[in-house]
Amino acid sequence: MTSFLEYFMPFYTYQAKTEESCDKCLEGFDVLQRLNADPLERCPDCGNRVKKVISAPNVVSGKAHLTTDKTAEQKGFTKYKRAGKGVYEKTAGKGPKYISGD
């Protein structure tokens, strides 16, 4: 069974550890990596040592943009509403009319 970590691939930012590096790693560069991948140790261009830079997460707050059934369907999503205990009924999009945990 494959793990969630094998599919989720965020961007990581790396930057030079020393001043004796190329422009790319002095300014910092982004790399798309799997969550379970080992961090880069060296710049792919100059080979000098790099470090992973910690940055603030991208957090979305406020009202969701897919509030209506029509909007959700236009964006390619399927929307369900709760129809009972463990049962959900489709209100927009493609997919089964009902889904349940049973």
pLDDT (tens digit per residue) in 30-44: 988 888 889 999 999
3 part of a folded domain: no
75 pLDDT exceeds 80?
no
4 part of a folded domain: no
The mean pLDDT of the chain is: 80
47/82 same-domain check: no
The domain total for the chain is: 2
What three-state secondary structure class fits 27? helix
pTM of the prediction? 0.49
CB distance 58 to 30 below 8 Å = no
Please tell me the number of Cα atoms within 13 Å of 101 on its side-chain side: 5
20/47 same-domain check: yes
91 part of a folded domain: yes
d(CA 51, CA 49): 7
15/45 same-domain check: yes
Helix ranges restricted to H, 1-102: 23-27, 69-74
64 part of a folded domain: no
Question: Model confidence at 49, in pLDDT bands (50, 70, 90)?
Answer: very high
* Domain that residue 89 falls in: 69-100
- Could you tell me what percent of the chain has a pLDDT over 70? 78
- Could you tell me what percent of the chain has a pLDDT over 90? 24
